[in-house]
Amino acid sequence: MTHATEPDGIEASFPLVAAAPEPDRDASPEGFVVEVEQTTRIHFLDWGGPSDAAGHTAPSGPEAPGPPAVLLLHGLGQTAWAWTPVARRLRRVARVVAMDLRGHGLSDSPTDGYDPETLAADVVAVADGSGLRALDATMPLILAGHGFGAIVAAWAADVLGTDAAGLVLVDGGWEDLAATTDMEPDEFLRGLEEPPEVLRTMEAFLADRRDFDPATWDVDQERAARATVVEAYSKRLTPATRPHAVAGSVEAMFAYDPFVALPSVEAAIVALQAVDDEERTHGRALAEAQRVLTAAGRRPMRVARFPDAGHNLMRYRPQDVTAAILTVAGTLRE
């Protein structure tokens, strides 16, 4: 885990109580859906757990605690496959499910429902439908979200109450976007548009994604990238997340108030911060969220920074993201 000195009193790192296992390269998740609102299906990938992970056996006997139950939420415009590098490691010691948020991946894309209450209800439905909440109560549920998924995870953790014992915010979930970006949602949306040359062909698109960091590009990263676009007969690509779903999700992101949401969460919170912007607004927002939690009498977040990594920490630092989730699980056993 990276150690750094952070301004404004933020804890720069926290001790790891468990090392990240090696990835299970042979694992392949099963896909399922749960139906919400009687009309909308939410898709998730069930990666299984330690009883079916290669080379590992789940603890047994009346005294053995159950494995951690982990629900993973991807970021804006991504899918559950974005979590693959972490899921391959976690499944050796935890029961792992990664969901497609409403409007993303193989989940349905209704024209409505992109509000905090409905997005949180989708997460609860997956936690119930996958059986994660039915696991032994000695190991309650841990939610981990990336970017937009961190925001949704915070809303869901509030709804789940004591059933959500851990919340891991991966480079998101602690800032008021309107304040830190000084943008309106429409302006933010325009900044998400891909350059035409990137969407010209699948080869051009994959090359663009590979060039973010060639060292971490592999078959899992290619699958995650392919899941975010649709290829037409002409070979040109369009984003798989439909415009109304992106717009609804961005509206939800801009409606998020971390200073209200985070103090309402009963779970232990860990924040993993990737490289900051030049003006350090991301870091200052984290410091302010920490102060609000302290003023509200809640446990402060445990924070780790990764100044040498980009936003997609699941790709660039999967070992550390996995270790952070397992650290939360380990401290809950104490």
Q: What is the pLDDT of residue 58?
A: 46
Residues 88-109, mean pLDDT to the nearest whole number: 97
Question: Is residue 91 in a domain?
Answer: yes
Give the pLDDT band (50/70/90) at residue 59: very low
Residue 60 has pLDDT above 60, yes or no: no
Residues 208-226, mean pLDDT to the nearest whole number: 97
Question: Is residue 6 in a domain?
Answer: no
* Domain interval for residue 314: 30-181+252-333
Residues 66-70, mean pLDDT to the nearest whole number: 86
Q: What is the pLDDT of residue 204?
A: 98
pLDDT tens figures, 158-191:
999 999 999 999 999 999 999 999 999 999 999 9
What is the rounded CA–CA span in Å between residue 134 and residue 111?
31
pLDDT higher at 105 or 50: 105
pLDDT higher at 208 or 329: 208
Q: What is the pLDDT of residue 188?
A: 96
Q: What is the pLDDT of residue 54?
A: 55
Q: Percent of the chain, pLDDT > 90?
A: 76
Question: Is residue 317 in a domain?
Answer: yes
Question: Is residue 244 in a domain?
Answer: no
What is the rounded CA–CA span in Å between residue 31 and residue 33?
7
Amino acid (1-letter code) at residue 139: M
Q: Which residue has the tokens 């103090």?
A: 263
Number of DSSP helices (H) and strands (E) in the chain, helices first: 12, 10
238 DSSP β-pair partners: 230
Question: Is residue 280 in a domain?
Answer: yes
Q: What is the CATH number of the domain that holds 131?
A: 3.40.50.1820
Q: What is the pLDDT of residue 283?
A: 87
Question: Is residue 247 in a domain?
Answer: no
Q: Percent of the chain, pLDDT > 70?
A: 86
Asked whether the CA dihedral 25, 27, 28, 34 is positive or negative, the reply is negative
Please count the other Cβ atoms lying within 10 Å of the Cβ belonging to residue 100. Answer: 27
Measured CA to CA in angstroms, residue 191 lies from 46, 183, 195, 241, 243 at distances of 33, 10, 10, 15, 13
Range of weakest confidence among 48-52, 112-116, 124-128, 210-214: 48-52
Q: Which residue has the tokens 């056996």?
A: 57
Q: Any idea what DSSP says for residue 266?
A: -
Q: What is the pLDDT of residue 82?
A: 98
Task: Please report how many Cα atoms fall inside a 13 Å half-sphere around the Cα of residue 174, on the Cβ side.
Answer: 30
What is the rounded CA–CA span in Å between residue 212 and residue 209?
6
* Residue 128: φ, ψ to 5°: -75, -45
pLDDT tens figures, 108-153:
999 999 999 999 999 999 999 999 987 656 667 999 999 999 999 9
Residues 204-211, mean pLDDT to the nearest whole number: 98
Q: How many domains does the chain have?
A: 1
